[in-house]
Chains A and B, each alone.
Chain A
Amino acid sequence: MSQYILRRLMIAIPSLLGISLVLFVVLALAPGDPFSELATNPNVPPEVQAALRAKFGLDDPIYLRYLHWLAAMVHGDWGFSFVSRVDVDTLILQRLPTTLYVVGSSQLLALLIAIPVGVYAATRPYSLFDQLANTFAFIGFSLPTFFTGILFILVFSVKLDWLPFVYTSVPGSGIPWLLEMIRQAIMPVMVLGLFQAASMTRFVRSAMLDVIRLDYVTTARAKGLGQAKVIVKHVMRNAMIPVVTLIALQMPAVFGGAIVTEQIFRIPGIGSLLISSILANDTPVVMAVTFVFACLVVLFNLIADVLYGWLDPRISFR
């Protein structure tokens, strides 16, 4: 098992390198100069500009620049925000926990909805429950997160006045503060979680239907095992393998949804950092946040791979 995880890690490294290469090529191809802010500033004399360009290696051939940039990223030297005059890595580390908290709890919510609903729907295909679940799932993943977010604000904040629609992160402690933190996270987590749950329910249902008609399931039933035991112990474990793949493939979309949700509810995570730095032309932060998102996607793919090994031990021996 540990050998298998190690092998997967070795596979993740080239894909990270590939992503970093794509990002770098995009940046290098882009018209305009990252130093244009300095170039248009009349207070900076041309000699200083040239010295700065030489220092940052902007006139080197492109492969050298990529290697320099990569080395700097690996060393944790992620540059300096033009706007807030802070190191990019401290800026990101400040905001990453919020994003992970919101994304993590919404994934948890999605699993808690999708697995029971999908499994129950698959055990009774084409029943009323199955059709209702299917319809809701269809509507759920056709509703873009920005529209559900606005609908939720309209209903729960404006009309009913139950929940706050602006996420504040005042440091504090104690039970009331904790309750307030949970209360303000309800809407963002619901928006993201329901969106995820909709597509996951469909995955779970169709994966269960594929497995439930196999011969070994009939054997298990013929042995006299109860329905619940057959479903949970025999069908679900095998049905979860394709579901894990599909959930891993969904991760880029999840982080995309997180950016939108953070923007609607003004959550101070890395998604809203990305938007504000794009609007402020803050290139180092934009690059770094995009790279962090890419790393998160690769990380979740890695977790999916480890889960395969656990769900189907044959995979880890291959």
Chain B
Amino acid sequence: MISAVLLLLLIAAVVIGPFIWRVSISDIDVVAGLQGPSLAHPFGTDDLGQDLLARMIYGGRISLAVGLAAMLVSVFVGTLIGALAGMSRGALGYGLMWLTDLFLSLPQLPLLLMLIYLFRDGLKALFGPEGGIFILIVLVIGGLRWMPVARLVRAQFLSLREKEFVEAARALGASPVRQVVRHILPNALGPVIIAGTIDVAAAIIAESTLSFLGLGFPPDTPTWGRILYDAKDFLDIGPHWALFPGGAIFIAVVAINFIGDGLRDALDARKVI
């Protein structure tokens, strides 16, 4: 409950923040560099004197948007593969599950880094530096996190497709697509929603990790991870610079994870003891 309020506050701050806090993210004022929190700069300034609150609001938009978009990609791919594997009674199901297991044993972060490294320049040329990286990061993070969703959906489908109400629909002449979309999928959504919630948190961490390693968004785009990356060399003189973005990531992730946990208790009664 508290975490839902926290998350809503965070989202509200990020969405309407720029209309209230009208300081530019890139105004350079070297004289006012590395100041702690003050009235003029509530979150302090970085080494170039850029206002951290404005940068955090801007970065939060990107970080949360990446989290949501990557979750949508992973839920979509996972549901599709899980549904196909769950409905097929032949080799396709086994093949897809083998693929899922293969992806589960891939080392994700190295692969993520490698994909970004290889495709970065091509997409940058196509969609511009920010848009290209956004699409790439969302696709890659989402494309490497669909496996748990696929397994959940398949498990649900395997039991649901033998239930009487599905059999009734089949007897009435419903096509397989209609059986899936109207009858099976709505009943399988509970675990998918939980997994999707937790995926948002994981995607935010993944994006921040990439930016923290210096391989995410371009340097002039301040995401939370990127601000942390810039701050890590100034820990002794400007600790506030690292604490604010790190704290924001932590609050967002904890809040989302708690919501996921609460949803699990609410939707999946069997887990509660």
Closest chain B CB from A305 CB (angstroms): 12
Write out the residue numbers on chain B whose beta carbons fall within 8 Å of the beta carbon of A286.
113-114, 117
Taking the complex as formed, is A46 at the interface, i.e. its CB lies under 8 A from any CB of chain B? no
Closest chain B CB from A13 CB (angstroms): 13
Which one of B105, B113, B205 has the highest number of Cβ atoms from chain A below 10 Å of its Cβ?
A: B105
Taking the complex as formed, is B164 at the interface, i.e. its CB lies under 8 A from any CB of chain A? no
Beyond A27-B118, A146-B209, A260-B209, whether A139 also contacts B106 by CB under 8 A is: no
Taking the complex as formed, is B42 at the interface, i.e. its CB lies under 8 A from any CB of chain A? no
Closest to A293 in B: B107
**Which of B107, B117, B119, B121 lies in contact with A297, CB distance below 8 A?**
B107
Interface residues on A, range: 35 or more
Taking the complex as formed, is A102 at the interface, i.e. its CB lies under 8 A from any CB of chain B? no
The answer to whether A138 and B110 touch across the interface, beta carbons within 8 angstroms, is no
**Which of B215, B228, B261 lies in contact with A150, CB distance below 8 A?**
B228
**A279 to B214 alpha-carbon distance, docked (Å):** 9
Taking the complex as formed, is B85 at the interface, i.e. its CB lies under 8 A from any CB of chain A? no
The answer to whether A256 and B109 touch across the interface, beta carbons within 8 angstroms, is yes
The answer to whether A154 and B122 touch across the interface, beta carbons within 8 angstroms, is no
Taking the complex as formed, is B258 at the interface, i.e. its CB lies under 8 A from any CB of chain A? yes
**A252 to B101 alpha-carbon distance, docked (Å):** 13
Give B66-114 interface residues, CB cut-off 8 Å to A: 101-102, 104-111, 113-114
The answer to whether B110 and A290 touch across the interface, beta carbons within 8 angstroms, is yes
Closest to B114 in A: A290
Taking the complex as formed, is A128 at the interface, i.e. its CB lies under 8 A from any CB of chain B? no
Write out the residue numbers on chain B whose beta carbons fall within 8 Å of the beta carbon of A144.
205, 208-209, 249-250, 253
The answer to whether B119 and A147 touch across the interface, beta carbons within 8 angstroms, is no
Which one of A139, A154, A252, A297 has the highest number of Cβ atoms from chain B below 10 Å of its Cβ?
A: A252
Q: Chain B 207-222, CB within 8 Å of chain A: the 1/0 string?
A: 0110011110000000
The answer to whether B215 and A278 touch across the interface, beta carbons within 8 angstroms, is yes
The answer to whether A289 and B273 touch across the interface, beta carbons within 8 angstroms, is no
The answer to whether B235 and A263 touch across the interface, beta carbons within 8 angstroms, is no
**Which of B105, B122, B201, B239 lies in contact with A31, CB distance below 8 A?**
B122
Write out the residue numbers on chain A whose beta carbons fall within 8 Å of the beta carbon of B243.
154
The answer to whether A26 and B114 touch across the interface, beta carbons within 8 angstroms, is yes
Taking the complex as formed, is B36 at the interface, i.e. its CB lies under 8 A from any CB of chain A? no
**A213 to B106 alpha-carbon distance, docked (Å):** 36
Closest chain A CB from B42 CB (angstroms): 21
The answer to whether B106 and A252 touch across the interface, beta carbons within 8 angstroms, is yes
Interface residues on B, range: 35 or more
Taking the complex as formed, is A253 at the interface, i.e. its CB lies under 8 A from any CB of chain B? yes
**A252 to B119 alpha-carbon distance, docked (Å):** 22
Q: Chain A 160-186, CB within 8 Å of chain B: the 1/0 string?
A: 000000000000000000000000000
The answer to whether B228 and A274 touch across the interface, beta carbons within 8 angstroms, is no
Write out the residue numbers on chain A whose beta carbons fall within 8 Å of the beta carbon of B119.
30-31
Q: Tally of A-B residue pairs with Cβ under 8 A?
A: 133
Which one of B107, B117, B253 has the highest number of Cβ atoms from chain A below 10 Å of its Cβ?
A: B107
Q: Chain A 11-48, CB within 8 Å of chain B: the 1/0 string?
A: 00001001100110011001110000000000000000
The answer to whether B107 and A296 touch across the interface, beta carbons within 8 angstroms, is yes
Q: Chain A 126-170, CB within 8 Å of chain B: the 1/0 string?
A: 000000000000110111101100110110001000000000000
The A interface is mostly helix, strand or loop, or mixed, namely helix
**Which of A15, A30, A153, A259 lies in contact with B213, CB distance below 8 A?**
A259
Q: Chain A 260-303, CB within 8 Å of chain B: the 1/0 string?
A: 10011000000000110011010000110110011011100100
Write out the residue numbers on chain A whose beta carbons fall within 8 Å of the beta carbon of B25.
none
**A294 to B105 alpha-carbon distance, docked (Å):** 7
**A298 to B201 alpha-carbon distance, docked (Å):** 26
The answer to whether B110 and A22 touch across the interface, beta carbons within 8 angstroms, is no
The answer to whether A259 and B109 touch across the interface, beta carbons within 8 angstroms, is yes
Closest chain B CB from A147 CB (angstroms): 4
**A29 to B73 alpha-carbon distance, docked (Å):** 21
7 nearest CB pairs, A to B: A256-B109, A30-B118, A31-B122, A293-B107, A147-B246, A142-B254, A290-B110
Task: Offer 19 A-B interface pairs, CB within 8 angstroms, sorted by A.
Answer: A22-B102, A26-B114, A26-B115, A30-B118, A32-B118, A125-B273, A138-B258, A144-B205, A147-B228, A150-B235, A158-B236, A252-B105, A252-B106, A252-B107, A252-B108, A255-B107, A259-B113, A263-B213, A275-B213
Given contacts A26-B115, A290-B113, 17 further A-B contacts (CB under 8 A): A18-B102, A26-B118, A142-B253, A142-B257, A143-B250, A144-B208, A147-B228, A147-B246, A150-B232, A252-B104, A252-B105, A263-B212, A263-B213, A294-B107, A294-B110, A296-B107, A301-B105
- Residue numbers of B with Cβ under 8 A of A are 101-102, 104-111, 113-115, 117-119, 121-122, 201, 205, 208-209, 212-215, 225, 228, 231-232, 235-236, 239, 242-243, 246, 249-250, 253-254, 257-258, 261, 273
- Residue numbers of A with Cβ under 8 A of B are 15, 18-19, 22-23, 26-27, 30-32, 125, 138-139, 141-144, 146-147, 150-151, 153-154, 158, 209, 249, 252-253, 255-256, 259-260, 263-264, 274-275, 278-279, 281, 286-287, 289-290, 293-294, 296-298, 301
